[in-house]
Amino acid sequence: MKKIALMTLTILFLTIFTQGSDLQDRCDRLSRSQLQSVIEFLSSDALEGRAPGTRGGELTEIYLHNLFKLLGLVSRFQPFTLHGFQLSELSVSAGGKELTYREDTVGSYVRPEAGFSIEGNAVFVGFGIRTPLWNWDDFKKADLRGKVLLVRVNDPGMYIPQIFDGSALTYFGRWTYKIEEAAKAGAAAILLIHTTPTAGYDWQVVKNSWSGEELYLPSSLESDLKFRGWIREPSLKSLLAENKIDLEHLYKKSLSRKFRPIDLGFKIRISGRNSFRLLNTRNVIGEISGRSGKNIVLSAHIDHFGRNGQLAGDQIFNGAIDNGSAVATMALVAKVFADTGKELHYGLTFLACQAEEAGLLGSKYFVAASEREKIAANINFESTPVWEKSLDAFAEGARYSTLEEAVRRVAAAQGLGYSQFSLADQGLFYRSDQFPFAQAGIPAIWLSAGEKSVSGRNRIAEFFKGGAYHTVKDEYDPAWELESLRQTVKLAVGLIEHLNLTREIPRWKTGLTFPMEGPAFKSAGQSKKSGAPR
């Protein structure tokens, strides 16, 4: 019996070695033209920035559908409806002080009304967080119906390292979470207080992201929260100064668990002009079947910010790296597996999702419509590096599940180290399409070649912090070496191969730092204590 077991194990190892060599060789043989083609097309001016519900967005969907078919995948569209709202004028005022649209404040009015005016008592609600995970409640059952909430971005761990996730931004520090909580509280409006350190990006990124059409799933509008917006900290200070209120004093109070919402004693008026529409958009789904009935979902968003006619000069947000390079990575992984023609244990689903920039809407829709027990894991690609070779790899969010051990093994087998992403403290795990999967109880990661390039430059950090991220400067460059993109393809192929050959089911670890829906909440061992482990 032992001899049979040993022989079986030997055969398995030989199979892993042989198939691994074949798949890795296929990645190495991808030509420069193949690495370039998808990025170059998706970031062309002809697609006008790929905004959902536009001609460029629709052409992108058609392109991915036919590319999947060309690669030999079973391809289909997944249509869904969004509400779109766009401001042409905005005034935020208190007393005799009025703020300037785009320079001081931006936002979205989410009702089908051409002209609007909201007025409500200004209430400071600290970080706007309530969670048993860290025994924190900024709301204390206060009646906030009809109020205009002023909310800090980030979470208390940024200032008190012993709580939340220390300096690393958690889900509870994300602006999307704060809007959800304001809606639950019955507020009429929310103004998120922007600073570059707390948000992780400067005001220009906020202005670019919120000056165009804002998109929403219908279910997210089922509340009394009519206005969602941002205000620059210096602009808020000028409003408060009119009422002799010190913002720093409010900040200090908000660092205590005893904090309660503070009515500031004056009203804020928000008014403006608004356009609105219903629009239809589509995720694109390609599939390679497997024997087990479970699939690994690979995802990358296909949208970007479209075109901004207010800009002088270049008006198109081409999104070459965010997220053309990631879509190219996903397509090349599909090619490698489709070309082998070999049957897999876990099937593969390739999700080209829409409206990520609007709040992960396409991936949220996909997850909500899926049979979650049939998804073994999610591997997401986001802003995949396009430069020279890297010496390491990272998998954002992998520390929460056994996927981290698997990625480490795969990276080591490919001669790469394994590192934590240097920008992880900015909450990037919660900011791309892996997160809706994780919230639904499905182990999920953002996989990428790492920051230690052979040239010594940290080009990924340069992209995010150096002025190209979410600007018109994110354009295709034919001089890109694309070797780090190839490495990301190879990492994903290796990880899929590992999971298929071992038939490992990824599992959650304990001490998660974000809320999870459904029965996976208990099995993941989420801590409800103050200061969950990092």
pLDDT digits (tens, 9 = 90+) for 409-422: 999 999 999 999 99
Residue 422 CA, chain-centre distance (Å), reads: 17
Q: What is the mean pLDDT of residues 100-115?
A: 96
- Model confidence at 18: pLDDT above 70: no
Q: Roughly what angle, to the nearest 10 degrees, separates helices 32-42 and 326-340?
A: 130
User: Sign of torsion, CA 144 257 154 403?
Assistant: negative
Nearest to 501 by CA among 3, 26, 13: 13
* C-beta of residue 301 within 8 angstroms of C-beta of residue 432: yes
For the chain, the straight-line distance linking the first and the last C-alpha, in angstroms and rounded, comes to 44
As a whole number of angstroms, the distance between CA 425 and CA 194 comes to 17
- The model's pTM: 0.89
Q: What is the mean pLDDT of residues 344-348?
A: 97
Pairing between β-strand 136-137 and β-strand 130-131 as defined by DSSP bridges: antiparallel
In the CATH scheme, what is the code of domain 85-276? 3.50.30.30
Pairing between β-strand 227-232 and β-strand 295-301 as defined by DSSP bridges: unpaired
The reported pLDDT for the residue numbered 455 is 94
Q: Where in the chain is the domain with CATH 3.50.30.30?
A: 85-276
Q: Where in the chain is the domain with CATH 3.40.630.10?
A: 20-82+278-523
DSSP-assigned letter for residue 386: -
pLDDT, one tens digit per residue, over 464-516 is 988 799 999 999 999 999 999 999 999 999 999 999 999 989 999 987 888 88
At 167, is the pLDDT very low, low, confident or very high (cuts 50, 70, 90)? confident
DSSP string for residues in 87-143: EEEEEEEETTEEEPBTTTEEEEE-SS-SEEEEEEEEEE-TT--EEGGGTEESSTT--
As a whole number of angstroms, the distance between CA 423 and CA 429 comes to 10
Nearest to 438 by CA among 411, 400, 486, 487: 400
Counts for the chain of helices (H) and strands (E), in that order:
15, 17
Distances (CA, A) of 387 to 317, 423, 449, 480: 20, 18, 10, 5
The reported pLDDT for the residue numbered 518 is 53
What percent of the chain is modeled with pLDDT above 90? Answer: 84
- Model confidence at 42: pLDDT above 80: yes
* Both tokens assigned to 514: 């974000």
- Model confidence at 526: pLDDT above 50: no
Backbone φ/ψ region at 532: left (φ over 0), alpha (ψ -120 to 50), beta = beta
The reported pLDDT for the residue numbered 520 is 42
pLDDT, one tens digit per residue, over 295-344 is 999 999 999 999 988 889 999 999 999 999 999 999 999 999 999 988 99
The reported pLDDT for the residue numbered 482 is 98
* Residue appearing with tokens 């999700």: 351
* Both tokens assigned to 477: 């460059």
pLDDT, one tens digit per residue, over 511-525 is 788 888 754 433 333
At 47, is the pLDDT very low, low, confident or very high (cuts 50, 70, 90)? very high
Q: Tell me phi and psi for residue 505, to 5 degrees.
A: -100, 115
| From 5-9, 230-234, 294-298, the region with the lowest mean pLDDT | 5-9
* Both tokens assigned to 103: 């320079």
* Residue appearing with tokens 């075109």: 307
DSSP-assigned letter for residue 83: E
* Residues whose CB falls within 8 Å of the CB of residue 4, separated by 6 or more in sequence, listed in order: none
The reported pLDDT for the residue numbered 243 is 86
The reported pLDDT for the residue numbered 13 is 39
As a whole number of angstroms, the distance between CA 440 and CA 153 comes to 24
pLDDT, one tens digit per residue, over 253-288 is 999 999 999 999 999 999 999 999 999 999 999 999
The reported pLDDT for the residue numbered 9 is 38
The reported pLDDT for the residue numbered 424 is 81
pLDDT, one tens digit per residue, over 116-155 is 999 999 999 999 999 998 999 999 999 999 999 999 999 9
Q: What is the mean pLDDT of residues 46-50?
A: 97
* Residues whose CB falls within 8 Å of the CB of residue 194, separated by 6 or more in sequence, listed in order: 153, 203, 206, 230, 231, 232, 233
The reported pLDDT for the residue numbered 11 is 46
Q: What is the mean pLDDT of residues 53-64?
A: 98
* C-beta of residue 369 within 8 angstroms of C-beta of residue 469: no
Pairing between β-strand 105-109 and β-strand 227-232 as defined by DSSP bridges: antiparallel
As a whole number of angstroms, the distance between CA 235 and CA 59 comes to 40
Helix (H, G, I), strand (E, B) or coil at 211: coil
As a whole number of angstroms, the distance between CA 155 and CA 302 comes to 30
The reported pLDDT for the residue numbered 208 is 85
As a whole number of angstroms, the distance between CA 83 and CA 355 comes to 12
Q: What share of the chain is helix, strand, coil (3-state, %, to 5)?
A: 35, 25, 40
| From 37-46, 204-213, 361-370, 496-505, the region with the lowest mean pLDDT | 204-213
Q: Roughly what angle, to the nearest 10 degrees, separates helices 403-413 and 483-502?
A: 120
- Model confidence at 10: pLDDT above 50: no
User: Sign of torsion, CA 408 411 417 421?
Assistant: negative
Nearest to 185 by CA among 142, 239, 236: 142
Specify the fold of 20-82+278-523.
Aminopeptidase (3.40.630)
User: For the chain, what is the mean pLDDT?
Assistant: 92
Nearest to 243 by CA among 261, 270, 268: 268
